Structure 1
Amino acid sequence: MDQRTRPAPRLAPLPPEHSPDLKEQFDATQKRMGFVPNSMLIMQRDAKLTRAYAALSGAIWSADSKVDLKLKRLISHVASRSAGCRYCMAHTAEGASKLGVEQQKLDEVWNYQTSPLYTPAERAALDVAVAAGCVPNAVTDDMFLELRKHWSDEQVVEIVGVIAMFGFLNRWNDTFATPLEDEPLHFGETHLASQGWDAGKHLR
């Protein structure tokens, strides 16, 4: 789609300088992601919401996480795909790659149930993520029992926490049709298109 024919954003991202009182949150996000995402640049119109989201995101991606951050990125990716959010799919896949998830493992994420690249513990977590991303929620007692065979209570809370945060982000970004930034857009076009992904309404 030519730049000139792209639809205008439903609500335009504002530059970070628009909200100098959110500099701490934007700087932390820039350090973690390499850029401030358009989702937050739209959100900054509500400073309290932006601070609350930044605090939740910081807790989810904390360096002292009891669940490997690479797996958390994969969990967020499959949950977002179940929910159908192409913006979050591109972000989470690109984020997984930046954290060091091997491209082969990322390419195999939708074959995780049979791929030798995934452990039983990872499969249990991804099963819950896929089911939790559905509407209505499709997580079963059996899935949860399998999850708890492999993960401590604290780890289970972290796993469900990342799924829940992306439940918010999936709805936020699909409702706003948040424009994809250059880096995740390029990653999606390069690595996800063969799996049926395209930017859709997020190409603005």
Structure 2
Amino acid sequence: MARIHAVAPQEAGRIVRTAYRFAGRQYGEVPEPFAVLANHPKLFAVAAGHEMGAEKASTVLPPNVRDIAVYRVAWTVGCSWCVDFGTMLQRLEGLDIDRLQHIGEYDTSPLYSEDERAAIAYADAMTDTPTTATDEQVADLERRFGRDGVVELTYQIALENMRSRMNSALGIHDQGFDSGDACRVPWETPSASETERKA
């Protein structure tokens, strides 16, 4: 269970309830990060719009390259929710999810292409604190993917760092999306004082 209250549908405003219904149809259950972020309805709306926009705009890179770099960030940061959800997304895209068990040895595993290795190494460099990306690394990625591809990769890696770190800090854990049997968000019954405050 998350470290702060997940907003139940009956507590949510119209926009959040609509988003919950959409997410439930698309993913089988409401993702818990949505329900926690709903404590701040304005940021919830901004984040939902941003996620949809970033997904629609990110069409330059091959999905396997983009998704493996994003997955590596989640794995490195240790966000079990993002690893779980990212595995589901790769499965739905028809990608090989069995190889994710070997992400720790991506640099030597024959399951990863040279382009994927370059993207993963860049994800590692961007996730380091402070970042360790180099001129040579970016130049290599530009040769592989073009300038727009480098920008897309950089953006997606940065976005996953935000997601993974936020979810980890708020105690949001895996929800069973990778098994195809997603668990429902454990809605808490709001206390009387919380109900009065929302009214």
Question: Under TM normalisation by the shorter chain, which class is it?
Answer: 0.7 to 0.9
Instruction: Give, as a single letter, the amino acid of the residue that structure 2 aligns with 1:170.
Output: S
Instruction: Name the structure 2 match of 1:173.
Output: 167
Q: Alpha carbons of 1:168 and 1:63: their partners in 2 closer, same or farther (altered >3 Å)?
A: closer
Contact between 2:6 and 2:39, CA under 8 Å: does it hold in 1? no
Instruction: Name the structure 2 match of 1:12.
Output: 5
Q: Alpha carbons of 1:45 and 1:25: their partners in 2 closer, same or farther (altered >3 Å)?
A: same
Instruction: Name the structure 2 match of 1:62.
Output: 56
**Which runs of no fewer than 5 residues in structure 1 stay unpaired?**
1-7, 188-204
Instruction: Give, as a single letter, the amino acid of the residue that structure 2 aligns with 1:14.
Output: V
What does 1:58-97 correspond to in 2, within 5 Å? 58-62=52-56, 65-97=59-91
Contact between 2:74 and 2:83, CA under 8 Å: does it hold in 1? yes
Separation of aligned partners in 2, 1:36 and 1:69: 24
Overall identity of the aligned pairs, in %: 21
Separation of aligned partners in 2, 1:182 and 1:160: 28
Instruction: Give, as a single letter, the amino acid of the residue that structure 1 aligns with 2:2.
Output: P
Instruction: Name the structure 2 match of 1:100.
Output: 94
What does 1:22-171 correspond to in 2, within 5 Å? 22-62=16-56, 65-171=59-165
Contact between 1:80 and 1:133, CA under 8 Å: does it hold in 2? no
Separation of aligned partners in 1, 2:69 and 2:82: 12
| Most deviating of 172-181 and 95-104 | 95-104
RMSD of the alignment, in Å? 2.6
Aligned partner of residue 67 in structure 2, secondary structure: helix
Contact between 1:88 and 1:170, CA under 8 Å: does it hold in 2? yes
Aligned partner of residue 11 in structure 1, secondary structure: coil
| Most deviating of 127-136 and 97-106 | 97-106
- Larger gyration radius, structure 1 or structure 2: 2
TM-score (norm 2): 0.77
Q: 4+ residue stretches of structure 1 with deviation over 6 A?
A: none
Instruction: Give, as a single letter, the amino acid of the residue that structure 1 aligns with 2:113.
Output: T
Separation of aligned partners in 2, 1:163 and 1:9: 24
Q: Alpha carbons of 1:186 and 1:25: their partners in 2 closer, same or farther (altered >3 Å)?
A: closer
Q: Alpha carbons of 1:26 and 1:68: their partners in 2 closer, same or farther (altered >3 Å)?
A: farther
TM-score (norm 1): 0.75
Aligned partner of residue 92 in structure 2, secondary structure: helix
Contact between 1:74 and 1:93, CA under 8 Å: does it hold in 2? no
Instruction: Name the structure 2 match of 1:4.
Output: none
Q: Which has the higher contact order (CA 8 A, sep 6+)?
A: 2
| Most deviating of 64-73 and 45-54 | 64-73
